[in-house]
Amino acid sequence: MTRSDAGRRSVYGVLIGHGDLPKALFLAATDIVGESEDFTVISNQDVAAPELESQLDQVLAEHKDREVLVFVDMFGSSCANVSTRLKRRNPNVEVVCGVNLAMVVRFMYYRDRMSLAEIVELMRKTGQDEMRPVPQ
C-alpha cells in the first residue's frame, strides 16, 4: 500500500550504534541514494547509556509529530536497550535491530511512499534477504 495523502511527511530515520558504524552506514547509503534529509546518526562511542538515551530522547522529542524508525546495529546492546525504552513511551516510533546497508538504502527510497508499518516489514524482509551464503 502506498500513501494516498501527498501532504504527509516521510518517515524520519535514526541510526544508532557502536563507534563509527552508524555514520559509515549513513554515508555509504547517501553515496548510493544521494543526499538524504530527515535522518539523525547517533554513536555510542565514549557515551554512557544515560547520555545516549538523552540524545535519542531529544531527537524523538524534536520529531514527536512524525513517524520515526530507529535502526540499531545490534540486538541486546545498550543502543537497542535505550531505543526499546524510548519506543515504549513513543507510539509513533518503531525499532529495528541488526541494520545493514541494504536496509538503510531501501528505507531512503521508500520512506515517503510507505507507512511506518509497511517500512518495518520491508526492513525485516530486506534484512533477511540480504543475509545469505554466496553459491560457489
Please tell me which residue, 40 or 9, carries the higher pLDDT value: 40
Span of 2-6, 34-38, 44-48, 109-113 with lowest mean pLDDT? 2-6
Quick one: pLDDT at residue 136? 87
**Rounded CA separation 37/99 (Å):** 19
Residue range 124-135, pLDDT digits in tens:
999 999 988 888
For residues 14, 102, 29 and 104, what is the CA-based torsion angle, rounded to 10 degrees? -10
Q: What is the pLDDT of residues 28-53, one digit of tens each?
A: 999 999 988 899 999 999 999 999 99
Residue range 12-110, CATH number: 3.40.50.510
Place of cell 520491508: 122
**In whole numbers, what is the pLDDT of the chain averaged over residues?**
91
- What confidence score (pLDDT) does residue 35 get? 86
pLDDT (mean) for 58-66: 94
Q: How far from 96 is each of 6, 81, 92, 102, 132, CA to CA, in Å?
A: 26, 12, 14, 13, 19
The model's confidence at residue 6, banded by pLDDT at 50, 70 and 90, is very low
How far is Cα of residue 62 from the mean position of the Cα atoms in its chain? 16
Domain boundaries of the chain, sorted by first residue: 12-110
